[in-house]
A and B are shown apart, each in its own frame.
Chain A
Amino acid sequence: QQQVKQSPQSLIVQKGGISIINCAYENTAFDYFPWYQQFPGKGPALLIAIRPDVSEKKEGRFTISFNKSAKQFSLHIMDSQPGDSATYFCAARGIQGAQKLVFGQGTRLTINP
């Protein structure tokens, strides 16, 4: 019943490199696509989000690219730093109903110094 598929499950990137995490969704009735960042022992926290009416959103070193026709979106972390090491979740929210989010499986990102 998973509606958001995320890859890869784990990712190792060298410091200064670009980290790329991909997500694909099936339900066309999603209208909001956030990314959450989770550090060990903590709850997920909103990192950046995008709506399907734009193709890209950038906040500092973090960029979401959105491809509505392909039903895919990705997170790019430029100049990756050891402090970016965390688990990242993509998510989607349906147009109908309230605020519930469907999450991807998560990607454990490790930035090597």
Chain B
Amino acid sequence: DAGVIQSPRHEVTEMGQEVTLRCKPISGHNSLFWYRQTMMRGLELLIYFNNNVPIDDSGMPEDRFSAKMPNASFSTLKIQPSEPRDSAVYFCASSLADRNTGELFFGEGSRLTVL
């Protein structure tokens, strides 16, 4: 059974360029999360969706970041324009909203380098 699939795995871009990261959650999961990981700040929650609806985007750094989930099997995180401080590993995770377990399943991440 396929896990959470993220693309691209690696992205190198120049400052000012638009970056789009993609995520396919596990089939049947109804919650989706975007996290950012850096050495300095660890794992930060950027935004999460429940049933394709954004529930909490308080972690989105600024207006340069946007996320969409047009359907249950696809989500994007866009950065426009990108800046060097956006360099990080971006993880997508999905879960079946269940108060008894709450396990998040993470993808392998998209490593972004902004020059």
- Determine the residue in chain B with the shortest Cβ distance to A98: B50
* Docked complex: B94-112 residues within 8 A CB-CB of A: 95, 97, 99, 102-109
B104 & A101 in contact (Cβ 8 Å cutoff): yes
A43 and B4 within 8 A (CB): yes
Chain B interface main SS type: strand
A12 within 8 Å of B (CB atoms): no
B43 touches A89 (CB 8 A): yes
Residue in chain A with minimal CB distance to B3: A43
Size category of the binding interface on chain A:
20 to 34
B43 near A98: Cβ-Cβ < 8 Å: no
- Note all chain B residues with C-beta closer than 8 A to A44: 43, 91, 104, 106
Pairwise interchain contact B43-A43, C-beta atoms closer than 8 A: no
Give the interface segment out of A16-24, A59-67, A70-78, A102-110: A102-110
- Residue A97 at the chain B interface, CB threshold 8 Å: yes
With a 10 A CB-CB cut-off, give which of A34, A93, A98 has the most chain B CB atoms: A98
Please give, as numbers and ranges, the residues of chain B lying within 8 Å of A99 by CB-CB distance. Answer: 31, 33, 48, 50, 95, 97, 102, 104
| Interface residue ranges, A against B (CB under 8 Å) | 31-32, 34, 36, 41-46, 49, 89, 93, 97-106
- B residues contacting A by CB (< 8 A) are 4, 31, 33, 35, 42-43, 45, 48, 50, 55-56, 91, 93, 95, 97, 99, 102-109
